[in-house]
Amino acid sequence: MSDQPNPWTNLEMVDEVIAMLADGSSLNLGIGIPTLVAQRIPASKNVWIHSENGVLGVSGRPTRETVSPTLINAGKETISVKPGASYFDSATSFGMIRGGHIDVCILGGMQVDTEGSLANWMIPGKKVTGMGGAMDLVHGAKKIIVMLTHFAKSGEVKLLHRCTLPLTGKNVVHRIITDYGIFSPMGETFRVEKLAPGVTRDLLGPEAGMWT
Amino acid sequence: MSDQPNPWTNLEMVDEVIAMLADGSSLNLGIGIPTLVAQRIPASKNVWIHSENGVLGVSGRPTRETVSPTLINAGKETISVKPGASYFDSATSFGMIRGGHIDVCILGGMQVDTEGSLANWMIPGKKVTGMGGAMDLVHGAKKIIVMLTHFAKSGEVKLLHRCTLPLTGKNVVHRIITDYGIFSPMGETFRVEKLAPGVTRDLLGPEAGMWT
Amino acid sequence: MKTKVFENAAAALFDLRDGISVMSGGFGLCGIPENSIQEIRRQGIRNIHAISNNIGNSGRGLAWLLKQKQICSATCSYVGGNPDLEQQMLAGEIDVTLVPQGTFSERIRAAGMGIRGFYTPAGYGTLVAEGKEAREFDLPCILELPLVADFAIIKAEKGDPFGNLWFKETARNFSPLMAMAGKITVVEVEQLVELGEIEPENVHLPGVFVQRIYQGVDYENVIEIPVLAED
Amino acid sequence: MKTKVFENAAAALFDLRDGISVMSGGFGLCGIPENSIQEIRRQGIRNIHAISNNIGNSGRGLAWLLKQKQICSATCSYVGGNPDLEQQMLAGEIDVTLVPQGTFSERIRAAGMGIRGFYTPAGYGTLVAEGKEAREFDLPCILELPLVADFAIIKAEKGDPFGNLWFKETARNFSPLMAMAGKITVVEVEQLVELGEIEPENVHLPGVFVQRIYQGVDYENVIEIPVLAED
């Protein structure tokens, strides 16, 4: 390890998230990087994975023999479930989230800001896909974690003083994991919780005063 | 049959109500006279009896062999169910009512008025029992029928221009069956739909202009 | 590994204290959490805010706590058939709030499902509407708010170690809703079964709503008003 | 005796007309009412107001109707993976209202359960909140209203002649809620079973919410994104 910045890989980001999860906790995993959490988490943590289309207790992937067209996750991918799983309607499923019964919700994001607001559903002028469950998922879970790369391909930082894209939710995010580190929105600044190897504060973005 | 008024018995009132019920309809039956409907209704009508504590498909009484402490109606009496019955939680049960999915709700009453308002839960200064489900039951069922004796034991008529007791619901009643006849609240008057044998309009109450 | 399974009522209700609010499932005596109520009686905590459809019936259930003057306020829909409650109401010893039963169940569901308020026609134009916001939709309605509790005590027929529950016949009533609304939900079961023994489609209440579960004992399951075909 | 059982989709959907609103169950292609959608395609009715989470996916389901330009407006939460809808949106041929998925399901439930409006935090401070009443509870919330439809078309794994339904795995999703909200609810089933064959405790949707039911045929049950352990 030298002075050279060595940002985390997706899997390293996932392992950082997994380290935050308590044994026996319940999780909702968003589409994208967060789904990797399901594959890396050790069985000893005994987490209960919720998918908002109406299942709690998602486990690995099905086999060619067990795959079922009626057993999918919110990403519409086939899944399997573990003993103790349950199925329910969508109102109950989102009630679990809105009512605060899911411990952690891990989402992807396009932008997140120091107020804890998240933008992850729409880029004006581009193809609209719809917010799906994202606007519901950001309210209610005890802890909202956003996983995203620190910089866009264009080079712009995704952690901002104020989001410029349309919001998914206002003041909702508790923790942010990027390839550069772990951050907490504090209102006017991000508190730096941890940095990836070799990453220094001056690499985090143009606004120096934003990192405390 | 002479000129002598010959008011209906409870069972005759029940049969008048049964004549109003369509085949295959769903019913909620209040405590008191309405429960007799369940016992008199012919099987050919194939009605589905709802009890708001969470059951649809109530049939007769259980036997000593089939009686179950966990199978009761809203009057807390043991019941049995017919094939096709279902059990559900109280929110769904009242949602069936409030959402307009139960065809007919038959309630007892203390007073009912020309606006269709009903009082059946409280007499000020007397022992309070609580409204139970009555305030919910009067909203939502497609047809609200009230069964009550025309006169109180004190001799006072129970069909009034305006109820004097605390209301269970305002403008909710569609049809009224008393031992003297069948009536519909019309706003400022009751329309007389049918009279029991020998009953004449001047016997219905002191306010002559109230019966049209 | 963290477990939700407790040895008995005393172990599961280790942190009760004076002044807590307690939701208790059951309709009349049907489906009441007998063991948990008896444990609350044994502990003798006081100034309980009870939320239950009937607050006991026929001298049983929560009436066990009424007799010991452990309950200071009650939110319920029906107090008939409960002489202990009526007596304390008349004596002014207990503060009773009557709520229409459908509103009662929906307010409990709202608390569990994170709904902050809802409009219902039930109670409009009656004493129940006093002091509440009214608004005209297709019918005039009143605004009702969620009903929460520090503890929910619930009984189910079957439950597994994660807290998945299955209820028998009409014993379901308010219980799954209260399990959703309780900050700490303590369930007693007739049968504690293995994970997976309740078919995933037929779970009546997913275990994520349950914090503690134990195998109950010595159930009386009293029938309040037995009416038989031969009577 | 009046029956709810119809011979097939054509018999059950005898009274469709231009301009109706139609709720259609399913999440992506999981649990969609294939037979009823195909029958609507066959009838060719137009100006349909579609209410469905995805309005079809991957060229199937309600996308069969999109291709024939039968749908004039859509209320949904997610249009990704549905090129037919995206194309008509961009061309301005269809009016799309996006609703957060949890609000979508709760609005449908509200319609079925007679709740006239409710407050939810979802969407507060976003485009979704524009023009809606906001109110502060423990969190700032917005008022959302019920979502109804002239027809609800639903698929279930099992159903009986009264309309009691049982859903398999995650095929349940919005279907029981839509069945509650539809003025006329038409259900197709994989298996039409006898009354009583679904255990009374395990009925997922009581038959009182269902107006018509039929035995479906030729189900494709396409898997949209198969991901297997060995991949």
Q: How far is B81 from chain C (nearest CA, A)?
A: 10
How many Cβ atoms are within 10 Å of A200's Cβ, its own excluded?
Answer: 10
Q: Is residue C42 in some structural domain? A: yes
Q: Is residue D221 in some structural domain? A: no
Instruction: Name the A residues in 123-162 with CB < 8 Å from any D CB.
Output: 127-140
Q: Is residue C229 in some structural domain? A: no
What is the full DSSP assignment across A107-175?
Answer: EE-SEEETT--EE-S--TTSPP---TTHHHHTTTSSEEEEE--SB-TTS-BSEESS--SPPSBSS---E
Alpha helices, DSSP H only, in chain C? 9-12, 34-43, 63-67, 83-90, 101-113, 175-181
Task: Dump pLDDT digits (tens) for D92-110.
Answer: 999 999 999 999 999 999 9
**C-alpha angle D176/D177/D180, rounded to 5°?**
90
Task: Dump pLDDT digits (tens) for A102-124.
Answer: 999 999 999 999 999 999 999 98
Specify the pLDDT at position D231.
Answer: 60
Residue B140 to residue C121, Cβ atoms within 8 A: yes
Is pLDDT at B2 greater than 80 in this prediction?
no
Residue C180 to residue A101, Cβ atoms within 8 A: yes
Specify the pLDDT at position A92.
Answer: 98
Residues in chain C within 8 Å Cβ distance of D204: 201
- pLDDT tens across the length of chain C (231 residues): 579 999 999 999 999 999 999 999 999 999 999 999 999 999 999 999 999 999 999 999 999 999 999 999 999 999 988 999 999 998 999 999 999 999 999 999 999 999 999 999 999 999 999 999 999 999 999 999 999 999 999 999 999 999 999 999 999 999 999 999 999 999 999 999 999 999 999 999 999 999 999 999 999 999 999 999 876
Residues in chain B within 8 Å Cβ distance of D113: 91-92, 94-95, 98-99
Specify the pLDDT at position B35.
Answer: 85
Residue C30 to residue B54, Cβ atoms within 8 A: no
Q: How far is B151 from chain C (nearest CA, A)?
A: 24
Residue C202 to residue D201, Cβ atoms within 8 A: yes
C117 and chain D in contact, CB less than 8 A: yes
Q: How far is B2 from chain C (nearest CA, A)?
A: 37
Cα distances (Å, whole numbers) of residue A106 to A33, A174, A176, C90, D116 = 9, 10, 10, 54, 33
Burial of D141 (0-12, 13-18, 19+ CB in 10 A): buried
Residues in chain C within 8 Å Cβ distance of D167: 201
Confidence of residue B127 (pLDDT cuts 50, 70, 90): confident
Confidence of residue B1 (pLDDT cuts 50, 70, 90): very low
How far is the C-alpha of D42 from the C-alpha of D19, rounded, in Å? 16
How far is the C-alpha of A187 from the C-alpha of A162, rounded, in Å? 10
Residues contacting A130, CB < 8 A, separation 6+: A121, D76, D77, D78, D79, D80, D98
- Nearest Cα residue to A182 out of A171, A165, A167, A195: A195
Contact of B148 with B176, CB cutoff 8 Å: yes
- For the question of an ipTM over 0.90, the answer is yes
- Residue from the list D118, D167, D202 with its beta carbon closest to the beta carbon of C115: D118
D27 and chain B in contact, CB less than 8 A: no
Choice among A12, A16, A52, A156 that is catalytic: A52
Contact of C103 with C142, CB cutoff 8 Å: no
Task: Dump pLDDT digits (tens) for B52-95.
Answer: 999 999 998 999 999 999 999 999 999 999 999 999 999 999 99
How far is the C-alpha of C121 from the C-alpha of C128, rounded, in Å? 11
The token pair at C79 is 């107090």
Residues in chain A within 8 Å Cβ distance of C209: 96, 101
- Residue from the list D31, D101, D169 with its beta carbon closest to the beta carbon of A132: D101
Q: Is residue D49 in some structural domain? A: yes
The token pair at B164 is 């004097």
Residues contacting A16, CB < 8 A, separation 6+: A8, A177, A182, A194
B188 is catalytic: no
Q: Is residue C58 in some structural domain? A: yes
* Mutation to test the B interface, candidates C84, C227, C230, most B Cβ within 10 Å: C227
Global pTM value: 0.97
D204 and chain C in contact, CB less than 8 A: yes
Chains that touch D (3 or more CB pairs under 8 A): A, B, C
How far is the C-alpha of B100 from the C-alpha of C138, rounded, in Å? 13
The token pair at C57 is 């019936």
How many Cβ atoms are within 10 Å of B189's Cβ, its own excluded?
Answer: 16
Instruction: Name the A residues in 54-73 with CB < 8 Å from any D CB.
Output: 54-55, 60-64, 67-72
How many Cβ atoms are within 10 Å of A164's Cβ, its own excluded?
Answer: 12
Residues in chain D within 8 Å Cβ distance of A78: 223, 225-228
Q: Which residue has the tokens 């380290």?
A: A19
Question: Which CATH number is C173's domain given?
Answer: 3.40.1080.10
Contact of D46 with D17, CB cutoff 8 Å: no
Q: pLDDT exceeding 90 applies to what percent of chain B? A: 83
How far is the C-alpha of C154 from the C-alpha of D104, rounded, in Å? 30
Which residues share a beta bridge with A195?
A181
Residue B53 to residue C30, Cβ atoms within 8 A: yes
Q: Is residue C130 in some structural domain? A: no
Instruction: Name the D residues in 58-97 with CB < 8 Å from any A CB.
Output: 76-81, 86, 89-90
Q: Is residue D189 in some structural domain? A: yes
Crossing angle (nearest 10°) for helices C101-113 and A90-98:
70
The token pair at D51 is 């209410």
Specify the pLDDT at position C231.
Answer: 60
Q: What's the one-letter identity of residue D34?
A: E
Contact of A136 with A96, CB cutoff 8 Å: no
C138 and chain D in contact, CB less than 8 A: yes
D139 and chain C in contact, CB less than 8 A: yes
Grouped pLDDT means (10 residues each) for chain A, 212 residues: 82 96 93 86 92 95 95 94 97 98 96 97 88 94 95 95 96 97 97 96 90 93
How far is the C-alpha of D41 from the C-alpha of D62, rounded, in Å? 9
Provide the 3-class DSSP secondary structure of residue C140: strand
Q: Is residue C63 in some structural domain? A: yes
**C-alpha angle D96/D180/D175, rounded to 5°?**
65
**The domain containing residue D148 runs over which residues?**
5-118+144-215
Q: How far is A195 from chain D (nearest CA, A)?
A: 31
- Residue from the list D110, D118, D169 with its beta carbon closest to the beta carbon of C117: D118
- pLDDT tens across the length of chain D (231 residues): 579 999 999 999 999 999 999 999 999 999 999 999 999 999 999 999 999 999 999 999 999 999 999 999 999 999 988 999 999 998 999 999 999 999 999 999 999 999 999 999 999 999 999 999 999 999 999 999 999 999 999 999 999 999 999 999 999 999 999 999 999 999 999 999 999 999 999 999 999 999 999 999 999 999 999 999 876
Q: Which residue has the tokens 């109230």?
A: B210
Phi, psi of A111 (to 5 degrees): -145, 150
Contact of B107 with D119, CB cutoff 8 Å: no
- Residue from the list C2, C201, C209 with its beta carbon closest to the beta carbon of A101: C209
Cα distances (Å, whole numbers) of residue C224 to A200, B74, C87 = 72, 12, 20
Over residues B109-127, the mean pLDDT reads: 93
Residues contacting D75, CB < 8 A, separation 6+: D49, D50, D51, D52, D96, D97, D99, D104, D147
* Contact flag for C and D (3+ C-beta pairs < 8 Å): yes
Long-range contacts of D90-95 (CB under 8 A, 24+ apart): D90/A127, D93/D69, D94/D66
Q: Alpha-carbon torsion D25, D27, D29, D30, what sign?
A: negative
Compare all CA atoms of chain D with the CA of C140 and give the residue at the minimum distance: D116
* Contact flag for A and B (3+ C-beta pairs < 8 Å): no
Q: What domain count does chain D have? A: 1
Residue D78 to residue A129, Cβ atoms within 8 A: yes
Compare all CA atoms of chain D with the CA of B90 and give the residue at the minimum distance: D113
Q: How many residue pairs from chains A and D have C-beta atoms closer than 8 A?
A: 180
Q: How far is C50 from chain A (nearest CA, A)?
A: 21
Specify the pLDDT at position D44.
Answer: 98
Compare all CA atoms of chain D with the CA of C168 and give the residue at the minimum distance: D201
Alpha helices, DSSP H only, in chain D? 9-12, 34-43, 63-67, 83-90, 101-113, 175-181
